[in-house]
């Protein structure tokens, strides 16, 4: 946390930003509100016009609800290009941008402001009020890796306020239990998750999920967040996945193919499940898949750095949440073989053993 900006300056800027959001809504003919149930909470995204709806809702559509009523978090969302509105000039300087886009002096328990460089987007969260804002100059600049995990920073900060932990991990299983796959980018989480699409193993997450600690039982519930999945072309080919699944067939060199599984495998998606095991995937190049017991320290080393290095505001509380999850279940090394059937069989074995 950083030293807060003066209250008068803070209040004036936030109020001016809210007025801009409302003006954007009026210019667009009103707000289009989309409501989602995530980790048992209702999140309302209020779009000023349709420009940003596709980019920021495709990965969340599986969680959409049509129920009226209040929301735990409401986020006003708009862009300048389609609404003709200009936000107030920020009262901070170029030297105030910090790691993960955190704005120095504007990041504490009351207001948390972050900047996303690639999309030139500003996110504001007032966690105690359950309110947020998200602005960008143009809806045309959102790359597919952001569309696969929209509003990730803002949601992470709000989850933390709610006592939840956004976690960089895949999760596979069913309503009775799931296995968390932990590892850095390229470790094989997505490949393992996609290998299970043709099996009886359900899908909670490809890249990000939400952990909730049960204070009574000491267990952990894993919540689904995004329905997106990403893969390299060679992975798609090896697993025999059709090109029709890919939402971004035209990509920049090095970009992964992005799929929205709710459009193609809605029956595979699992909303939440108790955590039964943690596995660290390792690609071996051998045909057979093997499970080898691993220490909690090895699981923590795979889980914590990739989560903490990607998100703002992480620290001791994040480490405690991840450590509690690791301590609560057995840990394994998943040596993923080239036979695609091996991974779902190993996941089913882990779930069967934990239920026994």
pLDDT tens, residue by residue, 4-44: 565 668 899 999 999 999 999 999 999 999 999 999 999 99
Does 349 score more than 70 pLDDT? Answer: yes
Question: For the purposes of burial, counting CB atoms within 10 Å of the CB of 266, is it exposed (0-12), middle (13-18) or buried (19 or more)?
Answer: exposed
φ and ψ of 65, to 5 deg: -130, 155
Q: Please, what's the largest Cα pairwise distance for the chain?
A: 64
For the chain, the residue count is 356
Q: From CA 233, how far away is CA 84, in angstroms rounded?
A: 39
φ and ψ of 255, to 5 deg: -75, 145
- Do 206 and 338 reside in the same domain of the chain? yes
Question: For the purposes of burial, counting CB atoms within 10 Å of the CB of 287, is it exposed (0-12), middle (13-18) or buried (19 or more)?
Answer: exposed
- Do 141 and 227 reside in the same domain of the chain? no
Identify whether 325 is part of a domain: yes
pLDDT over 90 percentage in the chain: 80
Residue 3: pLDDT band (50, 70, 90) is: very low
* Nearest of 35, 37, 39 to residue 210 by alpha carbon: 39
Work out whether the CA dihedral 226, 166, 155, 45 comes out positive or negative. Answer: positive
- Do 121 and 190 reside in the same domain of the chain? no
Mean pLDDT within 253-267: 93
Q: From CA 36, how far away is CA 154, in angstroms rounded?
A: 15
pLDDT over 70 percentage in the chain: 96
- Do 198 and 347 reside in the same domain of the chain? yes
- Do 111 and 248 reside in the same domain of the chain? no
Mean pLDDT within 108-115: 96
Residue range of the domain that includes 238: 164-355
> Any idea which of 131-145, 152-166, 234-248, 342-356 has the lowest mean pLDDT?
342-356
DSSP 116: E
pLDDT of residue 116: 92
Residue ending a domain, among 161, 189, 204, is 161
pLDDT of residue 330: 97
Mean pLDDT within 128-145: 93
Residue 1: pLDDT band (50, 70, 90) is: very low
pTM, full prediction: 0.94
Residue 218: pLDDT band (50, 70, 90) is: confident
- Do 140 and 15 reside in the same domain of the chain? yes
Determine which helix (DSSP H) or strand (DSSP E) holds 121, and give its type and residue range: strand 121-126
Mean pLDDT within 281-308: 93
Identify whether 2 is part of a domain: no
| Total count of domains within the chain | 2
Identify whether 292 is part of a domain: yes
Does 2 score more than 70 pLDDT? Answer: no
Query: In 3-state terms, what secondary structure has residue 272?
Result: strand
126: number of CA atoms within 13 Å, CB side?
14
Residue ending a domain, among 137, 161, 185, is 161
Mean pLDDT within 316-327: 95
- Do 83 and 147 reside in the same domain of the chain? yes
Q: From CA 4, how far away is CA 131, in angstroms rounded?
A: 19
- Do 294 and 341 reside in the same domain of the chain? yes
pLDDT of residue 141: 81
Determine which helix (DSSP H) or strand (DSSP E) holds 251, and give its type and residue range: none
pLDDT tens for 153-190 read: 999 999 999 999 999 999 999 999 999 999 877 678 88
- Where would I find the H helices in 67-143? 80-83
Q: From CA 122, how far away is CA 140, in angstroms rounded?
A: 15
- Do 143 and 185 reside in the same domain of the chain? no
Query: In 3-state terms, what secondary structure has residue 203?
Result: strand
- Helices 296-308 and 316-327 pack at an angle, to 10 degrees, of 150
pLDDT of residue 354: 65
Q: Which residues pair with 174 in a beta bridge?
A: 177
- Where would I find the H helices in 28-151? 53-57, 80-83, 144-147
- Do 157 and 225 reside in the same domain of the chain? no
Identify whether 1 is part of a domain: no
* Nearest of 214, 339, 221, 335 to residue 280 by alpha carbon: 335
311: number of CA atoms within 13 Å, CB side?
26
Distances (CA, A) of 185 to 6, 189, 231, 281, 289: 39, 8, 11, 11, 20
Mean pLDDT within 120-127: 96
Identify whether 88 is part of a domain: yes
Q: From CA 311, how far away is CA 116, in angstroms rounded?
A: 12
* Nearest of 321, 12, 1, 25 to residue 160 by alpha carbon: 321
Q: From CA 223, how far away is CA 270, in angstroms rounded?
A: 8
Residue 215: pLDDT band (50, 70, 90) is: confident
How many other β-carbons are positioned within 10 Å of the β-carbon of residue 286?
13
Q: Which residues pair with 100 in a beta bridge?
A: none
Residue 253: pLDDT band (50, 70, 90) is: confident
Q: From CA 213, how far away is CA 356, in angstroms rounded?
A: 22
């Amino acid at each position: 946390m950083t030293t807060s900006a003066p209250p008068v300056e803070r209040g004036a800027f936030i109020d001016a930003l809210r007025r801009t959001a409302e003006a954007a809504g009026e210019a667009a003919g009103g707000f289009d509100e989309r409501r989602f149930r995530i980790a048992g909470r209702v999140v309302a995204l209020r779009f000023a016009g349709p420009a940003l709806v596709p980019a920021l809702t495709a990965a969340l559509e599986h969680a959409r609800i049509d129920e009226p009523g209040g929301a735990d978090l409401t986020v006003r969302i708009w862009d300048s290009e389609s609404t003709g509105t200009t936000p107030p000039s920020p009262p901070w300087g170029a030297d105030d941008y910090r790691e993960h886009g955190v704005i120095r002096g504007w990041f504490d328990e009351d207001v948390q402001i972050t900047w996303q460089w690639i999309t030139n987007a500003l996110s504001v969260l007032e966690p105690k009020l359950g309110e947020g804002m998200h602005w960008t100059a143009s809806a045309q600049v959102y790359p597919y890796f952001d569309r696969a995990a929209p509003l990730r920073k803002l949601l992470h900060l709000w989850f933390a306020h709610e006592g939840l932990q956004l976690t960089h991990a895949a999760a596979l299983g069913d309503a009775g239990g799931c296995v968390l796959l932990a590892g850095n980018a390229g470790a094989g989480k997505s490949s393992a998750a996609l290998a299970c699409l043709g099996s009886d193993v359900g899908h909670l997450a490809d890249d990000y999920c939400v952990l909730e600690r049960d204070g009574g039982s000491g267990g952990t519930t894993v919540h689904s967040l995004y329905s997106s999945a990403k893969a390299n072309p060679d992975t798609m080919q090896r697993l025999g996945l059709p090109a029709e699944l890919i939402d971004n067939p035209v990509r920049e060199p090095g970009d992964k193919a992005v799929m929205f599984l709710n459009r193609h495998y809605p029956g595979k998606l699992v909303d939440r499940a108790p955590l039964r095991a943690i596995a660290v995937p390792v690609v071996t190049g051998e045909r057979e898949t093997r499970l080898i017991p691993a220490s909690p320290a090895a699981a923590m080393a795979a889980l914590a750095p990739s989560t903490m290095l990607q998100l703002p505001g992480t620290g001791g509380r994040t480490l405690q949440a991840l450590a509690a999850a690791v301590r609560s279940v057995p840990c394994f090394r998943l040596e993923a073989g080239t036979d695609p059937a091996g991974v779902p069989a190993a996941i089913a074995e882990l779930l069967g053993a934990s239920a026994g």
